[in-house]
Structure 1
Amino acid sequence: MLLGPEVIGKLRHTFHAYRKMLFSPSRRQRWLRWLTPGLLVKRWLLLSTLGVLTVGLGLMVWLKLTPVFYTVRFVGNLLNLFTQLVPSYISGPLAILIGVLLIVWGQTRTLGAVTEVLLPVSSEDNLWDAIATHRRLNRGPRIVVIGGGTGLSTLLRGLKHYSANITAVVTVADDGGSSGRLRREMGGLPPGDIRNCLAALADEEKLLTELFQYRFMTGSGLSGHSFGNLFLSAMNEITGDWEQAIAASSQVLAVRGRVLPSTLSDVSLWAELSDGRLIEGESNIARARGQIVGIGCRPAQPPALPQVLEAIEAADYIIIGPGSLYTSIIPNLLVPEIVDAIAARHVPRIYICNIMTEPGETQGFQVSDHIRAIDRACGRPLFDAVLVQKNPPSAAAIHQYRREGADYVHFDRETVLAAGRRIIIANVMTEDAHTGVVRHDPTRLAKILVRWYERIHRTW
């Protein structure tokens, strides 16, 4: 019995409608993205299918093929009856279409269920994006970043989009503000810089930054403390160890990479000024407003955290800075084991020079002065290249900084070249139009650093 033209027309209309729905440009592009190599999805789906077929084959062999005979005969009779009612040129494509629809429907619902569980409710990514991003970041280079303060967290905010294999080595010499109070009252490490880095590396970075940076303005004993500092201190009390507290906090915050203190020792900075004064304490050094001629710590030569040394030994790329030269960067390099580990690595090593000088630390410094200070503190050249800001800030911003005793860090090219350093010049600065504050731009900075690494590591 043949179908009439009206029925065939309806079937054709239905077929075209489903084809348009299933193979629209956006949906086709979404499905084609699953064919991208390296997702580790297609091979497991194929393996599952092969497993189902193998189980079926095993059952048939076990039952001595008896069900196969009856099943084939029944299916053959059913197909003969069906093709008598509906011509093969209609029934064949129709069965294929129904099968494809069932496959697509089942896979879509399966992926949707998995997505609902794995992805946060606020996430705008689909499962493909999440898998592809996870795979790309985990294949990223092993990067060790050494520093502290806002400079380090700014850099991490950009780098986390290129690699999940980031280790941030943070100074533990801070003794001012909320960190200093917690350090004196509870002992252990100052949590401030660790908090900033954890928030910068977190997936939900904006919300967590606001939460971690929230500072209590009232309350007896709470006033002046940030929530993040109290959180880390509480985790330290719960776990009984700062190393475990940071690791546990990283899991809670879904951090990309890890944050490690340079040492677990109770370190206190001291600085010798050109006028003969000896200043004790990190927070007092900048306030002394003198020219620093020497810097050290007590206890001298503190031991490095073993995980830091392991990260440096496995690193593909080592970045120093940006940050306050004497109170954020050099304190990490006062740990001799860290200096030795960096010096022993034959990988790209770069220093990010600050854009502006800092009163009480680097007033009057040029780029070469920053390099010289690090070399002197380490007792040897430690990095191969230096990243320098290309264009100076606006005249208004420079004027405002000069009123506060700071200035633009001038680039003395010949002296830097004479020191044997490669030079990377790029525009990595952002300037607030209202306040005139100059900072490194996390996106531009990370992009330049990754591009330079990709270009240079092939010849290393």
Structure 2
Amino acid sequence: MEAYGLPPVNPKGIVIFSGGTAANSLVDVFEKVSTGNGCSLSYVIPISDNGGSSSELIRVLGGPGIGDVRSRLVRLIPSNGSSSERTAIRTFFNHRLSSEPDRARYEWLDIVEARHELWKDISSPKKELIRSFLNVLNMEIVKRARPSSVFNFAKASVGNMFLTGARFFSGSFEAAIYLLSSVCTIPPHVSILPIINTNFTHHIAASLADNTLIVGQNSISHPSAPTALSLSGETPATLTPTRETELHDSIEDANLPGSLPTLRRQNIVFSKADEEDLPARIERVWYINPYGQEIRPPASPRVLEALHAAKAVIYSIGSLYTSVAPSLIPRGVGEALSSPNIRIKILILNGSIDRETGPPWAPMTAIEFVGAIAKAATGTDIEGEEVVARKEHARFVTHVIYIDSPDTPKVDREELASLGIESVKLYGRKNRDGKGVRYDATALTQALEAIVGRKAEREGPSRRNTLHH
């Protein structure tokens, strides 16, 4: 079955739920498993990111958060062979402009005018095709410039700019992804599927166990001091919510009047290394409209199509509540995931405890990861009461892959087995920064192939059930 004129997803494929950066390290593993099984590979990506350069594109131009989509597309550029153009295209779409706004603006002009050194080794036909969409975006930025607000080019991702320009030109987010996939020569059996097919911004909110409410993905995962806007000389720290809303309403941008101030700030600069602990655990995540009211948007038809034809689903490493959960919440996903037609549903546990799965004194366990996935997929009522019994969690997770380390979530194999969930311990190595551990690619490939159904082709002795520090 075709959707929106795009090629159909091949039957009996593997569907990966993930965000961007963390899961990029496992792309080669997933590719080996999918090609070994002779099936398609679909990456389901959230579109709720409102941090980094995406925050400025959203603020001025509107549209979905595209950073994770761009990150995965560029990571999927084939690395086999010695094509200098592929290397140049990867460098081009991964490039970020200067962190200094004026210098970044001049660098952007050098790019759209084809004077930047980034164009070296990119053939003329591809260069002119890429430039055409960058110039579409440049015109949109110029059209939207107002005395109260101009686009801040600082740290802008060239790949994000291209996707946005292609979306404006075509009027379709899926068409923009298809175009970048073509430019990047992504293999035809691989699909990048945004969880919601939209030209609009979708934000998430989270509630904590102590009743704290956090609005916006950046505030949940990587909070930072917002980049200063021209708010009559006043700073967000000294403003009341009403006053801040009034000041934001005086700024002409893509935000609806009266939108929550938290969703309207620039969040260009943030750090993933320096994170404050949350005061309590995250209890629930949901989508909101610009005024903070809960909504439950429908999942993209192509995502549901991929799930209905899937032989296996993998919940990849990454931020549980901002990379995986936002793709489980939309309507239709939980029903598709709980279907017995998907025989294999694998959770790959993270190699470290992060801000979302802490606090450090009481980190989430493996069974709590499984429960969070089931809760997100099935939804909750307004009071937060779970609508799926614990004994039914195996409808959403059948296998848990993990590394046994002091830095990783604790796994009670007997407890998981009592719920019908198999656990597989793998080999891992300490990260170079000493924080957390990472999976050995060979061991993970062998485990996934064994679970999904293809007998692993051993590259030396099995590396399961061992741990190396």
> Which position in structure 2 is the counterpart of 1:253?
184
Distance 2:433 2:18 in 1: 28
The answer for the alignment partner of 1:238 in structure 2 is 169
State the partner residue of 1:201: 76
Within 2, Cα distance between the matches of 1:349 and 1:416? Answer: 14
Contact 2:46 2:195 in 1 (8 A): yes
Q: Distance in 2 between matches of 1:307 and 1:163?
A: 19
By how many angstroms is 1:346 displaced?
A: 3.3
- How far, CA to CA, are the matches of 2:396 and 2:44 in structure 1? 16
- Are the counterparts in 1 of residues 404 and 410 from structure 2 also a CA contact under 8 Å? no
Q: CA contact under 8 A between 2:31 and 2:41: conserved in structure 1?
A: yes
1:139 CA displacement: 9.7
In structure 1, C-alpha distance between the alignment counterparts of 2:203 and 2:433, rounded to whole Å: 37
Counterparts of residues 122-271 of structure 1 (less than 5 Å):
142-163=13-34, 165-204=40-79, 207=87, 208-217=89-98, 218-220=103-105, 221-256=152-187, 257-265=190-198, 266-271=201-206
Query: What's the CA shift for 1:422?
Result: 1.4
Question: Given the alignment of the two structures, is residue 359 of structure 1 paired with residue 358 of structure 2, yes or no?
Answer: no
Cα distance in 1, alignment partners of residues 286 and 454 from structure 2: 36
TM-superposed deviation, 1:180? 1.9
Q: Deviations over 1:257-280 (max 9, x none)?
A: 010100134321111112221111
Match of 1:337 among 332, 346, 349: 332
2:141 matched residue in structure 1: none
Q: Root-mean-square deviation (CA), in Å? A: 2.7
Match status 1:297 vs 2:178: no
Shift of 1:150: 2.0
Per-residue deviation at 1:347? 2.4
Give the AA of the match of 2:185.
Answer: A
Query: What is aligned with 1:409?
Result: 409
TM-score, normalised by the number of residues in structure 1: 0.61
**Equivalent position amino acid for 1:302 in 2:** P
**Alpha-carbon shift at residue 442 of structure 1 (Å):** 4.7
Deviation at 1:436, TM superposition (A): 4.8
Alpha carbons 1:154, 1:442 under 8 Å: kept: no
Q: Sort the Cα spacing of 1:179 and 1:445 in 2 relative to 1 into closer, same or farther, 3 A.
A: farther
> How many Å apart are 1:430 and its aligned residue?
4.1
Q: Letter of the aligned partner of 1:350 in structure 2? A: I
| 8 Å contact kept, 1:388–1:411 | no
Could you tell me whether the CA contact under 8 Å between 1:189 and 1:264 is conserved in 2? Answer: no
Aligned-pair CA distance for 1:391: 3.9
Instruction: Encode CA deviations 1:369-422: one digit per residue, 9 max, x unaligned.
Output: 111111222234343433333342xxxxx6xxxxxxxx4312222222233211
Write out per-residue CA displacement over residues 42-86 of structure 1, whole angstroms, 9 at most, x where no aligned residue.
xxxxxxxxxxxxxxxxxxxxxxxxxxxxxxxxxxxxxxxxxxxxx
How far apart are 1:309 and its partner, in Å? 1.0
Is the 8 Å Cα contact of residues 236 and 245 (structure 1) preserved in structure 2?
A: yes
Contact 1:155-1:445 within 8 A present in 2 as well? no
Q: Which residue is equivalent to 2:449? A: 450
- Matches of residues 12-31 of structure 1 in structure 2 within 5 Å? none
**Partners of 1:183 and 1:423 in 2: how far apart?**
41
- Alignment of 1:347 with 2:343, yes or no, is yes
**Which blocks of at least 5 consecutive residues in structure 2 are unaligned?**
1-8, 81-85, 106-151, 224-276, 290-294, 379-387, 456-469
One-letter code of the match for 2:184? L
- Measure the CA separation in 2 of the matches of 1:176 and 1:438: 26
Describe the SS at the equivalent of 2:167: helix
Give the 3 Å change call, closer, same or farther, for CA 209–447 of structure 1 in structure 2.
farther
- Aligned partners of 1:317 and 1:349 also within 8 Å: yes
How far is 1:141 from its partner? Answer: 5.7
1:388 has 2:319 as partner = no
**How many angstroms apart in 1 are the aligned matches of 2:440 and 2:163?**
27
**Same amino acid, percent of matched pairs:** 28
Contact 2:352 2:436 (C-alpha < 8 Å) held by counterparts: no
DSSP-derived class of the 2:207 partner: strand
1:1-42 per-residue CA deviation (whole Å, 9 max, x = no partner) reads xxxxxxxxxxxxxxxxxxxxxxxxxxxxxxxxxxxxxxxxxx
Structure with greater helix share of residues: 1
- In 1, Cα distance between equivalents of 2:375 and 2:404: 28
* 2:430 and 2:437 in contact (8 A); partners too: yes
Structure 1: gaps of 5 or more residues: 1-137, 393-397, 399-406
**How far does residue 245 in structure 1 lie from its aligned partner after superposition?**
0.5
d(CA) in 2 for partners of 1:373, 1:284: 20
Once the two structures are TM-superposed, the CA of residue 431 in structure 1 deviates from its matched residue by: 3.2
- Normalised to the residue count of structure 2, the TM-score between the two structures is 0.60
Report the CA distance shift for 1:276/1:390 in structure 2 as closer, same or farther (over 3 A).
closer
Structure 2 CA distance for aligned equivalents of residues 370 and 278 of structure 1: 21
